Structure formats: structure tokens, C-alpha cells
Amino acid sequence: MYLEKDELLDKCSKWNPERKGLRMNKVPTVCPFCGGEMYVTHLYCRECDTHVEGRFIGGVFTQLRHDQLAFIDRFVAKLSPEQLALVETFVRCEGKINRMETELGLSYPTIRNRLNEVILTLGYEPGVEEAASAVSEEKRLKILEELEAGRISYEEAMRLLKESEG
């Protein structure tokens, strides 16, 4: 059975993933024999016995440009299932590690280390965590005391605090 592209897309858009009894396996991205990259090349409709061959990527990725798909391919192929799950949790938690701590039951340093591993796996260099404040608590309190006593102005206090940070 041969269908034009628009007709094929129209028929495929009516596919119902909620259909009972339909069991799907996760698409492997790495060849179990040689470790090469795997692609979906065959689609099958159990309703009408239609077979479609080609190179496919599905789900949310169908609307992406070719260069975006290439990035996704490289991204998914490099990360382990555990790392992909961590990235998914990171996105779901809107990048808030404190929410990830609650959801995963892991400490901040553990999550931070695992995220750094993901960054390294993707070929990037993780940033160095900045110190919470370069101004010592003692120096900050001294500046505030000077301000409160009227020995320095607000502007002078702000300048001193900023200088201490740099």
C-alpha cells in the first residue's frame, strides 16, 4: 500500500497511544553488538498491516529542525539512562536543586556531582561554584556598625561592601 506524504501524516496523526493492549518498548539508541548509534527505520500499523521504511525520530522531536535533531541524537547517545533520568528530573524541577533533593532523596553535593558528570559527558566543562560571599561576616558586621553609628554614609558602606566582594 503506497500513500502520499500528506495522506500518511494524516493517517499517522490519528494514532491513539492510549489504546489498550498496546505495549511499547523504549527505542535503544546504542547497538548491543558493536556500540554504534541505532535509528528507527521501520514503522508498522497493526490495524491495517502497513509498513513504512525510512529514518524516523518520534514524539516531541518531530517538529525540530535537522540541526536540532542532530544535537538531540548526540545528546541522547552520550548519556546513560541514569543520566537522562537526572536531566529529566532537573527540567521537571525547573533547575531547582533543592526540589531535586526532595524528589530524589539525595544531598545537594551528590546531585551537583551527578550534574557535573552529565556536563562532562556532553563534552563541556562544569563551572566553578562561587563562594556565597567574598565578604567575611566579621567585615560585613563592622561596616554595618560604622554605618549605624553614623561614622560612614550609606554610599560609603555600599562602596566598601562592593570592594570587599571584588
Q: How many domains does the chain have?
A: 3
User: Is 72 among the domain residues?
Assistant: no
Q: What is the pLDDT of residues 115-141, one digit of tens each?
A: 999 999 988 888 865 544 555 778 888
- The pTM of this model reads 0.42
Q: Please say if the pLDDT value at position 111 is more than 90.
A: yes
Whether residue 59 sits in one domain with residue 11:
yes
Q: What is the pLDDT of residues 7-33, one digit of tens each?
A: 544 554 444 444 444 445 566 677 888
Whether residue 155 sits in one domain with residue 138:
yes
Q: Please say if the pLDDT value at position 60 is more than 90.
A: no
Whether residue 103 sits in one domain with residue 149:
no
- Looking at residue 76, its amino acid is V
Whether residue 122 sits in one domain with residue 148:
no
Q: Are strands 51-56 and 40-44 parallel, antiparallel or unpaired?
A: antiparallel
* Nearest residue to 162 via CA among 131, 132, 134: 134
User: Is 69 among the domain residues?
Assistant: no
Q: In which residue are the cell numbers 560585613 written?
A: 140
User: Is 38 among the domain residues?
Assistant: yes
By residue range, what is the domain housing residue 125? 79-129
Whether residue 59 sits in one domain with residue 18:
yes
Output the pLDDT for position 76.
77
Question: Among 13-22, 73-82, 126-135, 149-158, which range has the highest average pLDDT?
Answer: 149-158
* Nearest residue to 147 via CA among 136, 157, 139, 155: 157
